[in-house]
């Protein structure tokens, strides 16, 4: 006789999922249409049918240590074809948010980042930091052509952002170590660390994304946004190091090859974000299903790119002092984007990489 297993539903977790995007999970009646139509679902361990029944029972520990929730790109195939409107893709989105809250360090920041009421708290620290720089930091020499360094000295900004990056990397390392520990406890026995590089290459190539059928246009939006952002991050690192060791001085000349590369990357990101926003706003069903957690990361990234382009344009036009206000907002949004990366949807790229590495083992 098979051993009896006692199942204790976590009703609080069920309500949590329903409140952050998985409101229709109870509609699922296990027909398995979602697993059949999903081009990403492996034959040997199909999803999302299994995860949907576990979510209905509130099996929190099993779900949050399941790499399958990160193998889904929420392309919409399963939600489009579901005969009951259970929207498995949205349930998976809620599960990923819950996983970030469980593993991130410190965990309270993920809870703050996941709720609209926490937005002003997230905004407050960057605003105070840059306001203090404007008010108290030694100012650079005034020049006939206004430069951002007149109010925001590079010898303060660059070390500040490198320090923030260091803290973020530590927070990511702790969160991912917790995630890997949970994967091991749940039964993952193969090599994870050696598989990180091939998993990252697969993500950068968006090869899995190409398999999604319902919304193939999203591929280009995400691909352009990812690579444009990678280019800007690379440029920021190069310019930051160059400025700190004295081999570069900002603003770079408009025809400087590094400047051209940065501007091209900004345009690439902007185009990608326009595609993503149009795709989301043009579909009333998807727009209604989107959560604050989805929009926070997207709109902060949009704000970073838009204010960056606008502040550069205003500087070239000599729009002083308005350009300083725009640049202030730009710096605040950049710090929000990076400082809270381990707690927002930004963290998807890290957790998904680890989950894909575990799935390959």
Matching residue, tokens 């929420």: 74
184 and 93 share one domain: no
Query: 33 and 176 share a domain?
Result: no
Query: Is residue 194 located within the same domain as residue 61?
Result: no
Regions in the chain scoring below 70 on pLDDT: 1-5, 139-145, 213-217, 284-289, 361
Digit-coded pLDDT (tens) for 131-186: 999 998 886 555 556 788 888 888 899 999 999 999 999 999 999 999 999 999 99
Do residue 282 and residue 294 come from a single domain? yes
Looking at the structure, tell me whether residues 253 and 339 fall in a common domain. yes
Q: What whole-number distance in Å separates Cα of residue 114 and Cα of residue 79?
A: 23
Q: Do 252 and 266 share a domain, yes or no? A: yes
CA distances from 315 to 130, 297, 322 (A): 19, 27, 9
In a domain, 240, yes or no: yes
Tell me which of 103, 121, 155 is where a domain ends. 103
**CATH number (domain holding residue 282):** 1.20.950
Q: Are residues 42 and 168 in the same domain?
A: no
Domain containing 72 equals 11-103
Separation of alpha carbons 6 and 11, rounded Å? 15
How confident is the model over 17-50, as pLDDT tens digits? 998 888 889 999 999 899 998 888 888 888 999 9
CB of 52 closer than 8 Å to CB of 88: yes
pLDDT of 321? 86
**Do residues 161 and 243 share a domain?**
yes
Looking at residue 166, what is its pLDDT? 96
Question: In this structure, are 99 and 113 located in the same domain?
Answer: no
> What is the pLDDT at residue 233?
94
Task: Looking at the structure, tell me whether residues 178 and 247 fall in a common domain.
Answer: yes
Q: What is the pLDDT of residue 178?
A: 97
Pick the last residue of a domain from 36, 69, 103.
103
Measured between alpha carbons, how far is 125 from 205 in angstroms, rounded to an integer?
Answer: 35
Q: How many domains does the chain have?
A: 2
Q: What is the DSSP string of 12-29?
A: HHHHHHHHTT-TTGGG--
pTM of the model: 0.91
Rounded CA separation 284/263 (Å): 33
Give the pLDDT score at 309: 95
Q: How many CB atoms within 10 Å of residue 74?
A: 22
């Amino acid at each position: 006789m098979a051993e009896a297993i006692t199942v204790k539903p976590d009703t609080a977790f069920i309500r949590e999922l329903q409140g952050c995007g998985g409101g229709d999970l109870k509609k699922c009646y296990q027909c398995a249409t979602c697993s059949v139509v999903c081009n990403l679902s492996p034959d040997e361990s199909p999803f999302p049918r299994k995860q949907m029944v576990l979510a209905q029972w509130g099996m929190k520990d099993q779900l949050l240590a399941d790499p399958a929730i990160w193998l889904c790109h929420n392309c919409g195939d399963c939600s489009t074809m579901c005969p009951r409107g259970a929207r498995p893709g949205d349930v998976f989105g809620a599960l990923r948010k819950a996983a970030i809250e469980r593993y991130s360090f410190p965990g309270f920041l993920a809870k703050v980042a996941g709720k609209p009421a926490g937005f002003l708290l997230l905004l407050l620290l960057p605003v105070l930091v840059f306001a203090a720089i404007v008010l108290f930091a030694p100012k650079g020499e005034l020049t006939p052509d206004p430069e951002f360094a007149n109010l925001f000295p590079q010898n303060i900004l660059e070390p500040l952002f490198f320090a923030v990056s260091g803290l973020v990397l530590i927070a990511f390392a702790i969160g991912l170590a917790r995630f890997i520990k949970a994967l091991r406890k749940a039964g993952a026995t193969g090599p994870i660390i050696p598989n990180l590089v091939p998993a990252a290459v697969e993500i950068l190539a968006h090869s899995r994304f190409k398999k999604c059928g319902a919304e193939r246009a999203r591929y280009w939006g995400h691909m352009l946004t990812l690579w444009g952002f990678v280019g800007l991050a690379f440029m920021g690192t190069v310019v930051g190091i160059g400025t700190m060791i004295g081999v570069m001085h900002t603003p770079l000349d408009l025809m400087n090859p590094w400047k051209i590369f940065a501007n091209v990357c900004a345009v690439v990101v902007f185009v990608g974000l326009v595609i993503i926003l149009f795709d989301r706003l043009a579909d009333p069903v998807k727009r209604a299903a989107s959560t604050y957690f989805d929009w926070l990361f997207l709109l902060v990234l949009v704000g970073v790119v838009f204010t960056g382009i606008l502040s550069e344009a205003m500087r070239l036009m000599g729009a002083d002092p308005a350009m300083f206000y725009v640049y202030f907002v730009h710096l605040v949004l950049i710090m929000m984007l990076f400082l809270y990366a381990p707690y927002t949807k930004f963290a998807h790229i890290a957790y998904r990489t680890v989950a894909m590495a575990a799935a390959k083992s």
